[in-house]
Structure 1
C-alpha cells in the first residue's frame, strides 16, 4: 500500500480498518439474526 513515510497516518488507517472490521462483524451478526427469523 504505497510508501510508509507517515507512521501516524498508518496507525490511523489501521484504526479505521479495525473499526470497519468491527462494523462488518456486527452487521454479519445482525444479518444472521434477521436470517434466522
Structure 2
C-alpha cells in the first residue's frame, strides 16, 4: 500500500541520514524528492 511505501521510505531516509549525514546534507533535493 502507499502507507507501506511511505514507511519504507521514511526508514530508508532515516538510515541514510544516520549512516552518512554529510551525504544527506549534501543532497537536499534528493531528500525532498524521496519525501514526496
Q: TM-score range by the shorter chain?
A: 0.5 to 0.7
CA RMSD of superposed structures (Å) = 1.1
Q: Which has the larger radius of gyration?
A: 1
Structure 2 unpaired stretches of 5+: 23-36
- More helix by proportion, 1 or 2? 2
Tell whether 2:19 aligns with 1:30: yes
Structure 1 unpaired stretches of 5+: 1-11
Deviation >2 Å, runs of 4+: none
Which structure has the higher relative contact order (CA within 8 Å, separation 6+)? 2
